[in-house]
Structure 1
Amino acid sequence: MATPVPFSPSAAVSALRAAGCVFAEEEAELILAGARTPEEAARMVDRRVAGLPLEQVLGWAEFHGLRVTVEPGVFVPRRRTEFLVDQALAAAPDAGVVVDLCCGSGALGAALAAALDGVRVHAADIDPAAVRCARRNLAAHGGRAYQGDLYDALPASLRGRVGLLTANVPYVPTTEVALLPAEARDHEPLVALDGGADGLDVLRRVAAGAREWLAPGGCLLSETSERQAPAAVRAFVDAGLTARLAVSEELHAHVVIGVRT
């Protein structure tokens, strides 16, 4: 067991820097601001030094202007995924029904609910810890989260009525999971990372079922990598969607957008 770090900014910064945290000063400030007691601050620093993602240590992540609850063992929303939110809002600004598959903490659904007036948000994930977390994050927006495998988790009444379908699917090829940073590899669920042999297994399944659930003119958006983007676009086209790729060089983000015509 790690020895507790004395409660002082300098000691916290030193411990975090020694552990390899590049932004040790900023992280120490966040930890000390969030701790209720010196003992809690020491425990939080110890958890970060042990390799837990900062967001899991703090209990929240900043995402698209929101503070999203992130529980231990739940996938941490990435900043690049804010680009998917922006593309979704541009593609379907009048969506009345939103579904977020592979929802993780529910960050995507919460961000879309906050930006769209009167929208009804439904989220689903196969991981029970993620669903518990998503329910907390969606509660303020009247959203609902369900546990299950992709579309199997959704109420049948949503078929053909979804205006906006987002799916931040796992897309790391199985053989490359071991190459991920330890924060992800050791502290996030494998089901949220491993996308199969070429990383596109889950994306293909989402695309294949999309037309059944999307309303006419409804949009499906999914994140992928630059290398996988051509194959991801083909998967959307093969599923009967009109597809295009949106890219943010700044965020190194690639989002496939498919429309049910």
Structure 2
Amino acid sequence: MSVSSVPSVELGAVVERLRASGCVFAEDEAALIVETARDAAEVAAMVDQRVAGLPLEHVLGWASFRGLRIAVDPGVFIPRRRTEFLVAEALEVTTPGAVVLDLGCGSGALGAAIAAEREVSLYAADIELAAVRCARRNLVPWRGSVYQGDLFSALPDQLRGRIDVLLANVPYVPTNEIRLLPPEARLYEPHVTLDGGPDGLATFRRVAAGALSWLAPGGHLFVEMSEHQAPPAAAVLTDQGLTARVTSDDELGATVVHGIKPGAARAGGNPAG
């Protein structure tokens, strides 16, 4: 079904219902719902879900991320537009043939976005079974391998010391700030994907502690953080033996901490920056 196949009065009614429920971008959301639904009955059901507070991406079953439609199942973290900056930063150092790992992958959006623009060997892992199932579907076009488990413990040992680009969009919201998140995130996304511990850096510290042994020489680690968390996060990487950099995008409100393992990049891998 496309927007043009639905009478304008029906589309208008969807817009008005969404607007009445508080949707700021009611016109855009209505168009996406009508475009995605297979028939009028499904339009009505999807509007009911959205009005009840379900995130739009879960209503649609997909999220837009760097021009890709990424399948997003209920209970799976929704990729944010600001995280496109992390992908853009990683693409700067990702060369053909690189081994890329999307750690804590959720839907697999980061790995998919990299693989859509570079020919790479793609791996992903997440502790949540729902995320693993979702990521496996999303990474089929790029023959990505997806594993279930807690961070690096999920990975086959043959990847140790071979990862050229490590993307780790791990939770970084301090525990006592989760209550301040919008209801769509707080109520519908698993807390394990949000809760970064007392200072938001608990999971990141675990990633940093393992990164040196899993990265290839000259390999890169990219992690999203809030602006105020970036300096202590960079210090953690330095303490673990990585060279640390911080980059930001004011338009997206995004901050990325970038760690580089010492050594020359392996053949077919990445430049060291």
Please tell me the TM-score bracket, short chain as reference: over 0.9
1:121 CA drift (Å): 0.6
Name the CA distance, whole Å, in 2 between partners of 1:66 and 1:27. 17
Question: Match for 1:75 among 74, 77, 89?
Answer: 77
Q: Which runs of no fewer than 5 residues in structure 2 stay unpaired?
A: 1-8, 263-273
Name the CA distance, whole Å, in 2 between partners of 1:151 and 1:141. 21
Name the CA distance, whole Å, in 2 between partners of 1:148 and 1:22. 38
Match runs of 1:98-137 below 5 Å: 98-117=100-119, 119-137=120-138
Q: Secondary structure at the match of 2:142?
A: coil
Give the aligned partner of residue 19 of structure 2: 17
Q: Secondary structure at the match of 1:41?
A: helix
- 2:94–2:118 CA contact under 8 A, matched in 1: no
Give the aligned partner of residue 183 of structure 1: 184
Give the aligned partner of residue 227 of structure 1: 228
**Letter matched to residue 129 of structure 1:** A
Give per-residue Cα distances to partners, 1:174-220, cap 9 Å, x unaligned: 00001100000011111100000000000111011001000000000
State yes or no: 1:173 paired with 2:174.
Answer: yes
% identical equivalent positions:
62
State yes or no: 1:36 paired with 2:26.
Answer: no
1:91 CA drift (Å): 2.6
Give the TM-score taking structure 1 as reference length. 0.95
Name the CA distance, whole Å, in 2 between partners of 1:258 and 1:91. 12
Name the CA distance, whole Å, in 2 between partners of 1:37 and 1:19. 22
1:72 CA drift (Å): 1.0
1:92 CA drift (Å): 3.0
Q: Secondary structure at the match of 2:87?
A: helix
Q: Secondary structure at the match of 1:8?
A: helix
**Letter matched to residue 10 of structure 2:** S
1:95 CA drift (Å): 5.4
Give the TM-score taking structure 2 as reference length. 0.91
Runs of 4+, deviation exceeding 2 Å: 91-95
Give per-residue Cα distances to partners, 1:84-113, cap 9 Å, x unaligned: 001001133345200111100000010111
How many pairs were matched up?
A: 254
